[in-house]
Chains A and B, each alone.
Chain A
């Protein structure tokens, strides 16, 4: 018992260091960075000046601290959100295939985003706000459809999530067909990316994501018991309907915000929980923070690749996450045949 606890502590120490290391290194990578900046690249000395605050005015400083660092932070936040939401959904549904989007969040957000472009609604954060509203509406509908006699069965929830997803995707496709203009932008958004990043976005996204993540963490013991199944959970004193409702709401909040600002980034929410479960076990009290950290690290690196690999053009980060994530996940599946839970 003790041995395992200490080994878990080491995993956390490593993850925290890895995150710090990731943030520092990825700050250097990119155009006008010391690494991979091509001809415009500046020296490590100049980079150090910016970090240590000696350089306080150059355009370079603004690129590093305003543009790049805010983007790294947003990537980190979105990574945390998706990983936490994915872990929670896999626990609630007792299903290894569950991801943050399983209850209709992605398809709802897509419709919201498509509507904002179709109707040409323009105000501050118009697209994220509409996407967020779309996500919440979809989750609410899915939950309501699944409710039979005041109770929600997990299987029904899963199926109505899939059905609602298909329906909403059709609406999105329809709107895309009708839009014509700015189609490119919407498709890009759908594939996921962090180009909306700014400190303002980070400041907006941070409070709800923090609230949701901490909230879910407080329910980690309940989440453990929920994975035993409905009847055992009831017999262990868990009010399953209430707990599930709270967890779904918090997940919708966290994943909804992430989707609103970054579009639909696949695979992070699906594989991070699995990888971390192999490392720290299924206990959500350790699994949730471990997944959160791993999600942040993974998405920061994925985004760094996305913005540099074919610079100056950037790739939707969803392509990178799927390209790296899927093979790695398949490797894990082959290695631990049948034992990813």
Chain B
């Protein structure tokens, strides 16, 4: 069983809705279609089911052109599940699922076989217990399962779903999509998704639509790249891996990446000690830099997620001279340096030295000093701290205090700027 879509174009009221769409799907494949509102996702499904007739191009089901098939023959091959369904008349759930047999029935009434297939479809979708209920009594998830059961009663070779879980809670979403996924081992399943992570989790392949064209199609990890998502949705995202399934996991940046004109804060941190500070600073739209951090350090991850310019070092290795110097370069460009209370060993002692250098350069340094034991340097850290104190570093007790202090600097900096302008 193979579905081929070849060069399909669809125009509605003189505006192109689909432009030269070509792809193919085989049995056992679950294809997710994604794209912004108005990209043509639903139109594509409607063209495949021939509810809308494409103006150019062909849709082939195993070499049969959909155009040449009657509605009945199409319905024998294809089941369609819309986003939501409303049924005005008080049909029982059993009657509704039985209607899925419509394309297979020739005479006036259903045969025993039709009843059996209906019952089986209801068992598969776990709707048997709803049999005698009417549709409008059901919850959203139950309704959607009933509609899927109806589509299954058609014994389709292709199942089309249009955002089947958009209006459902998270447990219903998984229930429905697990069901669809299990069906997709034998038939072609094409589903429109709004939730990129759900799509990445469930689909074998993905298609990104934008402005009525295919931007990307293929395996989820190839389609869901920051560049593609930026192009299609104009949203900056970070792609991670779902820890359970190893499928791509998309995290959008929660605040817009606008040009930051404020002061620059350089954070020297490690071991998670800088997470809260970097988050707060980034949300305040301050320019933040960080370093030096080992690549596997949780602070490094945080910095990357927040799109912070960070200097990375090979995991578990000592800070090299080169990283140290790059760090100094960043410090040079900053207005204030914050040193957090991370555990210090010989490997990262250079970071403390960098803070010292910052003071030498005349850049203020805020040191967060808590009571936690963090000296693994046989007392060398103590000496460093003594020197920092001598060189007028500002010592604070926690992150909040550090943030307030930075705020004071910010005020002063702006005041100075105004002064300068007045003088001019």
Q: How far is the CB of A281 from chain B (nearest CB, A)?
A: 7
Q: Find B91's partner among A4, A94, A237, A282 (CB 8 Å cutoff).
A: A282
Asked whether, in the complex, the Cβ of A282 is within 8 Å of the Cβ of B89, the reply is yes
Say whether, besides A218-B108, A221-B108, A231-B51, A236 and B103 are in contact (CB < 8 Å).
yes
Say whether, besides A221-B108, A231-B51, A283 and B91 are in contact (CB < 8 Å).
yes
Asked whether, in the complex, the Cβ of B131 is within 8 Å of the Cβ of A1, the reply is yes
A225: Cβ under 8 A from any B Cβ: yes
Contacts of A224 in B (CB 8 A): 91, 95, 99
B105: Cβ under 8 A from any A Cβ: yes
Distance in angstroms between the alpha carbons of A224 and B94 in the assembled complex: 13
Asked whether, in the complex, the Cβ of B75 is within 8 Å of the Cβ of A236, the reply is yes
The residues in B between 141 and 156 inclusive whose CB is less than 8 angstroms from any CB of A are 150, 154
The residues in A between 214 and 253 inclusive whose CB is less than 8 angstroms from any CB of B are 218, 221, 224-225, 227-229, 231-232, 234-239
B82: Cβ under 8 A from any A Cβ: yes
B176-214 vs A: 1/0 string, CB under 8 Å?
A: 000000000000000000000000000000000000000
Say whether, besides A234-B71, A235-B80, A237-B76, A227 and B102 are in contact (CB < 8 Å).
no
Q: Which interface residue of A235, A238, A277 has the most chain B CB atoms within 10 A?
A: A235
Contacts of A238 in B (CB 8 A): 71, 102
Q: How far is the CB of A232 from chain B (nearest CB, A)?
A: 7
B87: Cβ under 8 A from any A Cβ: yes
Q: Which interface residue of B73, B75, B87, B102 has the most chain A CB atoms within 10 A?
A: B102
Asked whether, in the complex, the Cβ of A235 is within 8 Å of the Cβ of B78, the reply is yes
Q: Find A236's partner among B88, B89, B100 (CB 8 Å cutoff).
A: B100
A339: Cβ under 8 A from any B Cβ: yes
Q: How far is the CB of B337 from chain A (nearest CB, A)?
A: 63
Contacts of A228 in B (CB 8 A): 85, 87, 99
Q: How far is the CB of B159 from chain A (nearest CB, A)?
A: 11
Q: How far is the CB of B162 from chain A (nearest CB, A)?
A: 10
Asked whether, in the complex, the Cβ of B154 is within 8 Å of the Cβ of A236, the reply is yes
Contacts of B100 in A (CB 8 A): 236
The residues in A between 93 and 143 inclusive whose CB is less than 8 angstroms from any CB of B are 94
B58-99 vs A: 1/0 string, CB under 8 Å?
A: 000000000000111111101110100111111110110001
Instruction: Count residues of chain A with CB under 8 A from any CB of chain B.
Output: 26
A341: Cβ under 8 A from any B Cβ: yes
Asked whether, in the complex, the Cβ of A234 is within 8 Å of the Cβ of B51, the reply is yes
Contacts of A282 in B (CB 8 A): 89-91
Distance in angstroms between the alpha carbons of A285 and B108 in the assembled complex: 9
B49: Cβ under 8 A from any A Cβ: yes
Q: How far is the CB of A221 from chain B (nearest CB, A)?
A: 7
Asked whether, in the complex, the Cβ of B90 is within 8 Å of the Cβ of A277, the reply is yes
Q: How far is the CB of B190 from chain A (nearest CB, A)?
A: 14
Q: How far is the CB of A240 from chain B (nearest CB, A)?
A: 8
Contacts of B82 in A (CB 8 A): 231-232
Say whether, besides A1-B131, A237-B74, A341-B89, A283 and B105 are in contact (CB < 8 Å).
no
Asked whether, in the complex, the Cβ of A225 is within 8 Å of the Cβ of B99, the reply is yes
Residue of A nearest to B73 (CB): A237
The residues in A between 145 and 171 inclusive whose CB is less than 8 angstroms from any CB of B are none
Asked whether, in the complex, the Cβ of B90 is within 8 Å of the Cβ of A237, the reply is no
Distance in angstroms between the alpha carbons of A221 and B108 in the assembled complex: 7
Distance in angstroms between the alpha carbons of A51 and B100 in the assembled complex: 51
Asked whether, in the complex, the Cβ of A235 is within 8 Å of the Cβ of B88, the reply is no
Q: Find B102's partner among A1, A225, A283, A339 (CB 8 Å cutoff).
A: A225
Q: How far is the CB of B55 from chain A (nearest CB, A)?
A: 14
Contacts of B80 in A (CB 8 A): 231-232, 235
Asked whether, in the complex, the Cβ of A221 is within 8 Å of the Cβ of B71, the reply is no
Distance in angstroms between the alpha carbons of A236 and B96 in the assembled complex: 11
Say whether, besides A235-B51, A235-B80, A281-B92, A221 and B102 are in contact (CB < 8 Å).
yes
Asked whether, in the complex, the Cβ of B87 is within 8 Å of the Cβ of A227, the reply is yes
Contacts of B108 in A (CB 8 A): 218, 221, 285
Residue of A nearest to B81 (CB): A235
Distance in angstroms between the alpha carbons of A148 and B215 in the assembled complex: 35
Residue of B nearest to A234 (CB): B51
Q: How far is the CB of A155 from chain B (nearest CB, A)?
A: 14
Contacts of A225 in B (CB 8 A): 99, 102
Q: How far is the CB of B315 from chain A (nearest CB, A)?
A: 55
Residue of B nearest to A222 (CB): B102
Contacts of A239 in B (CB 8 A): 70-72
Distance in angstroms between the alpha carbons of A312 and B34 in the assembled complex: 76
Residue of A nearest to B95 (CB): A283
Say whether, besides A221-B105, A224-B99, A235 and B75 are in contact (CB < 8 Å).
yes
Q: How far is the CB of A75 from chain B (nearest CB, A)?
A: 29
Q: Find B71's partner among A4, A91, A237, A341 (CB 8 Å cutoff).
A: A237
Q: How far is the CB of A15 from chain B (nearest CB, A)?
A: 20
Contacts of B88 in A (CB 8 A): 94, 227, 341
Say whether, besides A94-B88, A277-B90, A341-B89, A236 and B51 are in contact (CB < 8 Å).
no
Say whether, besides A281-B91, A341-B89, A235 and B49 are in contact (CB < 8 Å).
yes
Asked whether, in the complex, the Cβ of B89 is within 8 Å of the Cβ of A227, the reply is yes
Contacts of A231 in B (CB 8 A): 51, 80, 82
Distance in angstroms between the alpha carbons of A282 and B134 in the assembled complex: 11
B116-140 vs A: 1/0 string, CB under 8 Å?
A: 0000000000000001100000000
Distance in angstroms between the alpha carbons of A234 and B73 in the assembled complex: 11
Residue of B nearest to A220 (CB): B108
Asked whether, in the complex, the Cβ of B105 is within 8 Å of the Cβ of A235, the reply is no
Distance in angstroms between the alpha carbons of A281 and B135 in the assembled complex: 13
Q: Find A339's partner among B72, B90, B105 (CB 8 Å cutoff).
A: B90
Residue of A nearest to B87 (CB): A228
Contacts of A1 in B (CB 8 A): 94, 131-132
Contacts of B73 in A (CB 8 A): 237
Residue of B nearest to A3 (CB): B132
Residue of B nearest to A90 (CB): B89
Say whether, besides A218-B108, A281-B90, A237 and B102 are in contact (CB < 8 Å).
yes
Residue of B nearest to A243 (CB): B71
Q: How far is the CB of A62 from chain B (nearest CB, A)?
A: 42
A residues within 8 Å of B by Cβ?
A: 1, 4, 91, 94, 218, 221, 224-225, 227-229, 231-232, 234-239, 277, 281-283, 285, 339, 341
Q: A237-B75, A339-B90 are in contact. List 11 more A-B contacts (CB 8 A).
A: A4-B132, A91-B89, A227-B89, A228-B87, A229-B86, A236-B75, A236-B103, A237-B71, A239-B71, A281-B91, A281-B95
7 inter-chain pairs at a CB distance below 8 angstroms, sorted by A residue, are A1-B132, A221-B102, A227-B87, A235-B75, A237-B154, A283-B91, A341-B90
List the 6 shortest-distance A-B pairs measured between CB atoms, nearest first.
A237-B75, A237-B103, A282-B89, A237-B72, A235-B80, A236-B102
